[in-house]
Amino acid sequence: MVGKGPGFTRNTCFGRYLTLVLGAIGFETFREMDLSKPRGRKSGAPTMIDVAHTAGVSIATVSAFINGSANVSAELMLRIESAIREIGYRRNAAARSLKTGATHTIGLTVADIRNPFFTDVVAIVQDVLNRAGFAVMLCSSDEDTAKQDEQIRLLLERMVDGLIIGPAGEDEVTRRLVRSTRKPVVLIDRMIAGLGVDAVVLDNRAAVLEAIQYLLGLGHRRIGYISGAAGTATGHDRLEGYRAALANAGITPDPGLVRDGRFREADGYRAAMELMTLPERPTALFSANNLMVIGAMRAIRDLGLSCPGDVSVACMDDFPWADVFSPRLTTVAQPVKAIGEQAASLLLNRLAGNAPPEPLVLTLRGQLIIRSSCAAPTVRQSA
Amino acid sequence: MVGKGPGFTRNTCFGRYLTLVLGAIGFETFREMDLSKPRGRKSGAPTMIDVAHTAGVSIATVSAFINGSANVSAELMLRIESAIREIGYRRNAAARSLKTGATHTIGLTVADIRNPFFTDVVAIVQDVLNRAGFAVMLCSSDEDTAKQDEQIRLLLERMVDGLIIGPAGEDEVTRRLVRSTRKPVVLIDRMIAGLGVDAVVLDNRAAVLEAIQYLLGLGHRRIGYISGAAGTATGHDRLEGYRAALANAGITPDPGLVRDGRFREADGYRAAMELMTLPERPTALFSANNLMVIGAMRAIRDLGLSCPGDVSVACMDDFPWADVFSPRLTTVAQPVKAIGEQAASLLLNRLAGNAPPEPLVLTLRGQLIIRSSCAAPTVRQSA
DNA sequence: TTGTATGCGTTATCAG
DNA sequence: CTGATAACGCATACAA
């Protein structure tokens, strides 16, 4: 019944505990069971003391058994194991943390949990960390820096052993918070300069550059750009990629074709609405993320326009359903698996102490996935 | 700079701390600062003792100030507040938990974090709980009961104050785990019978019944059903709704039209593949959740079939992009906001002690959203 | 190999 | 209104 478990707690306690489950245990070996002593507690949760008393051994032996830190005789192991089951003992992480200084918990904040990109990364990070024996405390800042800072503060207070941050943005508080902690921190998705911590990010400039070049190659000259938050590295770098592509093609950018958004669907809707009702409207739209493109598609639909007939659309971030519904969206996919795994590994390495003193910044490449949402711009047909 | 914060820690400490930030603080009030005493610690993190020494007050006063548990004179508040800032003190949650028995942390497990339905619920729950001063520890069991049990165990060990579980399924271990804890538990999405805990679920039978009736009304007689995990309440109840609708219409169900899945995209793909390559294939497909419908749509595409031309498709769970891409999917939307809010409230009420002794089970209604993925069955045309 | 004593940082009780 | 002191449950030297 207890089985091997899903490898979850592989290197946590109970390792040897698992090895000798069951097996007719001699209940006659119990000592007197001095009930007077340990019954003075407030909460009903059984403690190691209870286990020790029930098993008729000392508390140190119980601890040694649970942590596998010392050799305990087979007979006592049996007694302790039986006592644990009998009284339903569960170890107290608070006490353990207080003593050891570690919680085996990692804090993770992302800018928006509803964004499939973050969801994927979270799932991977979670998996790797769980496998290594860490729990994950997840927060979504919903693209709100103040909320994010509060969450980081809360996580730090909860004594997490380390932090993975997918920042909503960077303000002075964020910086101060990260700088002031000695816990290892790794940034994902959005870089924050000058923090001196590990990071796993995308080469956003190159990613968008390639996508825009593709659009350019199709013949588009007026390409609307729905930008992410200006204060974020991703917002900034992606816009840079757009500008660079235009510059490379010798096109003087029309500032009216760039709209600010904050990576949320509603922003994409508004931006696309504005863009597509321009006197001279763009023939293509590029959205700096996946959520905004949904808003953009909604705007296009509300305007009675068709994609790619009236306007080509492409965006950053792939999503699972992008290739089964139409228009099948052309996207730049991020290597979510690698991002999650690398971020977790970076943190685990810092925790283990086997990492170089200088911060490691991993820059991954995106992959342009060409589907059917982009076409050559057509001269406006009749009606 | 410190500001009001996002209401996050409203009723946690530092309440009064916030009120008197800044204001030229007299540094000359410091006592001798006896450095000999508190410097014997192992980790470098400053403690309340350090604060007390720096501020020249007793540790009890510091605690009283931080928790607002007693009236502290204005002058001492200033000194303490200054000391806290000066040495960068952060309170130690482990010690606090050990003492108080509460962690102000809630454990939350869902069957699949990549499912937009759960993501939405998680976001809401998180928000409500954060506002109430609780952190959330999130786990995704990835539809794996063993993993789920391990996570519950881990959460309980971490001393969470309560648990919200969106079960992957129910085995004996799950039941035992939930029964053995005294912490409040609330189930979401999938009911587990006989546990005697609060729950927020959908009336799944009615939801699917309505959807199938709609399909029936369109004229469909052979409706393929892609089922969720048989061991789950949602899997079971939804299938029941399907069967009931058929029975009501006087149709004898064809067992070959029902395929088992485990709520994952790949299952939907396989099931739809099987269903749509049947000698006498169904004219409509209903998927028991959103992830499987993506797989089903992929299968339909791979088969070169069109929707709703060749086959009508509908499913449980709405998603944000369902109405902007084609085919615009007809779905049964769950009241995610209500589910999240109710689940959080139920738990908060239990925690506050103002809840009736008997378990509360909230059953919410789904809403059929008719879009364009379903049409009347057509007699097979030429080609 | 097993038991005893001490302290981790807080909170809470009780005197002053 | 403030200060000393005893738990909270566990880990760990150290003693046996």
DSSP states of B97-111: HHHHS---EEEEEES
d(CA B180, CA A88): 8
Closest to A326 in 3D by CA, of A374, A288, A291: A374
Q: Which of A117, A138, A143 to mutate to test the interface with B (most CBs of B within 10 A)?
A: A138
Find out whether B194 and B256 touch, Cβ atoms under 8 Å. no
Q: Could you tell me the distance in Å between the CA of residue A58 and the C1' of nucleotide D7?
A: 20
| Residues in chain A, pLDDT under 70 | 1-44, 379-383
Tell me what the pLDDT averaged over chain A comes to: 86
- For A171, the closest chain B residue by CA position comes to B1
Q: Where are the beta strands (DSSP E) in chain B?
A: 105-110, 135-140, 162-165, 185-189, 198-202, 223-227, 258-260, 284-287, 312-316, 330-333, 361-364, 367-369
Q: Give A294's contacts in chain B (Cβ within 8 Å).
A: 320-321, 324
pLDDT at position B341: 98
Q: Where are the beta strands (DSSP E) in A175-319?
A: 185-189, 198-202, 223-227, 258-260, 284-287, 312-316
d(CA B286, CA B293): 8
pLDDT at position B296: 98
Task: Give kind and range of the element (H or E) at residue A364.
Answer: strand A361-364
Protein residues closer than 7 Å by CB to strand D: A 40-43, 45, 47-49, 59-60, 63-64, 66-67, 69, 89, 91-92, 95-96, 98-100; B 57-61, 64, 70-73, 75-76, 95, 98-99
CATH class, A104-383 region = alpha beta
Query: Which fold, A8-98?
Result: 434 Repressor (Amino-terminal Domain) (1.10.260)
Q: Which of B11, B89, B158, B315 to mutate to test the interface with A (most CBs of A within 10 A)?
A: B158
Mean pLDDT across B19-26: 24
Distance from the B119 Cα atom to the nearest Cα atom in chain A, whole angstroms: 6
Nucleotide nearest to B70 (CA to C1'): D1
d(CA B284, CA B309): 10
Residue A252: how many other CB atoms lie within 10 Å: 6
Q: What is the largest CA-CA distance in chain B?
A: 97
Q: Give A135's contacts in chain B (Cβ within 8 Å).
A: 137, 139, 154-155, 158
Q: Which two tokens stand for residue B10?
A: 């409203």
Pairing between β-strand A367-369 and β-strand A330-333 as defined by DSSP bridges:
antiparallel
- For B97, the closest chain A residue by CA position comes to A94
Residue B194: how many other CB atoms lie within 10 Å: 9
User: Is the pLDDT higher at B34 or at B261?
Assistant: B261
The segment(s) of chain A belonging to CATH 1.10.260.40 are: 8-98
pLDDT digit string (tens) for A81-105? 899 988 888 889 999 999 988 999 9
- For A131, the closest chain B residue by CA position comes to B147
Q: How many CB pairs under 8 A join A and B?
A: 164
pLDDT at position A157: 87
Q: Which two tokens stand for residue B289?
A: 């959740």
Closest to A4 in 3D by CA, of B147, B178, B155: B147
Q: Give B44's contacts in chain A (Cβ within 8 Å).
A: 182
Closest to B293 in 3D by CA, of B251, B325, B320, B261: B261
Task: Give kind and range of the element (H or E) at residue A106.
Answer: strand A105-110
d(CA A382, CA B21): 67
Q: Which of A114, A156, A324 sits opposite B294 (nearest CB)?
A: A324
Q: Give B3's contacts in chain A (Cβ within 8 Å).
A: 146
pTM reported for the whole predicted model: 0.87
C-beta atoms of B326 and A321 within 8 A: no
Distance from the A10 Cα atom to the nearest Cα atom in chain B, whole angstroms: 11
Distance from the B208 Cα atom to the nearest Cα atom in chain A, whole angstroms: 23
Task: Give kind and range of the element (H or E) at residue A361.
Answer: strand A361-364
* Residue with nearest Cα to nucleotide D13 C1': A60
Report whether pLDDT(B42) > 80. no
Q: Please, which pLDDT band fits residue B18 given cuts at 50, 70 and 90?
A: very low
Q: Which two tokens stand for residue B88?
A: 């960068």
pLDDT digit string (tens) for A7-66? 333 333 222 222 222 222 222 222 223 333 333 344 567 899 889 989 989 888 999 998
d(CA B204, CA A365): 43
Burial B235-248 (b: 16+ CB within 10 A, else e): bbbbbebbbbbbee
Q: Could you tell me the distance in Å between the CA of residue A182 and the C1' of nucleotide C14?
A: 38
C-beta atoms of A94 and B159 within 8 A: yes
Q: Could you tell me the distance in Å between the CA of residue A87 and the C1' of nucleotide D15?
A: 30
d(CA A188, CA A109): 10
The segment(s) of chain B belonging to CATH 3.40.50.2300 are: 104-383
Task: Give kind and range of the element (H or E) at residue A108.
Answer: strand A105-110
